[in-house]
């Protein structure tokens, strides 16, 4: 995981440091492998079938999925680098996006449920996702591709902070 600090203006203009945590590299490996695992066999099947039934000129259409792999490879890297999260005193920040930047702020006191999920592919790569549910469905947030230990630590910490903040309401 990559971490970094960035300052933001806090109360009365004071500078508040927050530590951003990036996602593990395993998520990038998983996404790139899925890209290749789906599109390379598709290109091969398309090339063989079009070559047999439509002729060799049409078989060149099989290069299209390979072009998507070549273009998608660096885009997946840029997307992976854009994901990060920061635990602050009163809320959790989740930042993501390359062209359209999106930053979600989830106040601890508004969290109703924190789930850790891991599908078969994620489990194979040793990853898990944290899903945050709030009172407003539009503010639900997700952090994909965390190491299972970090996902469980984050779930426990967010649940603890959420209970403490909601008790004060």
Backbone angles phi, psi at 90, to 5 degrees: -115, -10
pLDDT for res 7: 55
Query: In 3D, which of 38, 44, 30, 60 has the Cα closest to residue 145?
Result: 30
Angle at which helix 63-82 crosses helix 25-53, to 10 degrees, equals 170
Q: Lowest-confidence range among 16-20, 95-99, 112-116? A: 16-20
Q: Output b/e per residue, 111-136; b: 16+ Cβ within 10 A.
A: beebebebeeebeebebbbbbbbbee
pLDDT at 67 over 80: yes
pLDDT for res 135: 78
pLDDT for res 109: 86
Residues 129, 123: contact at Cβ < 8 Å? no
pLDDT at 168 over 60: no
Determine the Cα–Cα distance for residues 121 and 71; give it in Å rounded to an integer. 23
Mean per-residue pLDDT, 151-160: 94
| pLDDT single digits (tens) 103-134 | 999 998 888 899 999 999 999 999 999 999 88
Q: What is the DSSP letter of 168?
A: T
Determine the Cα–Cα distance for residues 106 and 14; give it in Å rounded to an integer. 22
Which tokens in the block code for residue 78? 């840029």
| pLDDT single digits (tens) 26-62 | 999 999 999 999 999 999 999 999 999 998 888 888 9
| pLDDT single digits (tens) 130-143 | 999 887 767 679 99
Determine the Cα–Cα distance for residues 24 and 147; give it in Å rounded to an integer. 7
């Amino acid at each position: 995981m990559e971490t970094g600090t960035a300052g933001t203006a806090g109360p009365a203009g004071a500078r508040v440091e927050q530590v951003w945590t990036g996602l593990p590299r395993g998520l990038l490996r998983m996404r790139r492998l899925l890209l290749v695992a789906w599109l390379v066999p598709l290109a091969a099947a398309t090339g063989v079938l079009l070559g047999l039934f439509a002729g060799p000129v049409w078989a060149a259409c099989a290069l299209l999925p390979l072009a998507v792999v070549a273009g998608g490879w660096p885009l997946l890297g840029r997307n992976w680098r854009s994901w990060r999260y920061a635990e602050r005193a009163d809320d959790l920040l989740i930042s993501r996006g390359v062209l359209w930047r999106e930053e979600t702020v989830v106040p601890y006191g508004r969290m109703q449920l924190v789930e850790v999920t891991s599908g078969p592919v994620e489990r194979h790569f040793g990853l898990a996702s944290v899903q945050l549910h709030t009172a407003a469905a539009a503010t639900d947030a997700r952090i994909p591709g965390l190491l299972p230990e970090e996902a469980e630590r984050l779930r426990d910490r967010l649940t603890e902070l959420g209970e403490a903040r909601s008790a004060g309401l």
